[in-house]
Amino acid sequence: MSHQALVTTILAELVVSAFGLFRWVGGYSDRVFANRFRTRFPEKTLSYSGDQLGELVQSDLRMKYVFPILFPLDLIVMLALAGAMGAASSHWLNQIYPSAAWLGLVVPAVYLLSDLIEDCLLAWLLLHGDPHAAARSISVLKAITTIKLVSVSASIALTAIAFVGWLFHSESLAI
């Protein structure tokens, strides 16, 4: 196996492992939320109201949401996803189109930063338990969530495109 094939295998395994971790944490948090709420709606959707967010910040789940779901589990997931996709897409882009390799780092970094800001704002709202503060913060929270959802989708697409591009690049076929 060539050096490039070995590096690609390791990077692909890291990406798959990061998504496995994402799925495991999602399943854990869904079990925690199952009795009270349909899902971790502030992080997964934009279709919720200030009243729903206010109910969440006053719920008995709020401390479990902050710890262990947001911190450390979601933090670990965002670091794993951004790190794996950033390393993989940057490496593969560097092999096929070196001047675009920076995209492989910037796009996952935007995801990481927006997810971290979202988690910090959510943790602050949950720790304070003030439904009025939650209602006032809803537009900011949804804007940050939008950036996160767009940037993680772009990171996934970029990683897949970079991998396929590397795969069909003539030098990478020497496995």
Q: CA 5 to CA 10: how far, in whole Å?
A: 9
**SS3 of 101, please?**
coil
pLDDT mean over 36-65:
93
Written as one letter, the residue type at 15 is: V
User: Per residue in 62-120, pLDDT tens?
Assistant: 999 999 999 999 999 999 999 999 999 999 999 999 999 999 999 999 999 999 999 99
pLDDT mean over 154-175:
85
pLDDT mean over 163-168:
93
pLDDT number for residue 38: 77
pTM: 0.95
pLDDT number for residue 72: 98
Mean pLDDT of the chain, nearest integer: 94
pLDDT mean over 41-60:
95
Q: CA 92 to CA 12: how far, in whole Å?
A: 11
In sequence order, which residues have a C-beta less than 8 Å from that of residue 148 and are 6 or more positions away? 43, 111, 114, 115, 118
54, pLDDT greater than 80: yes
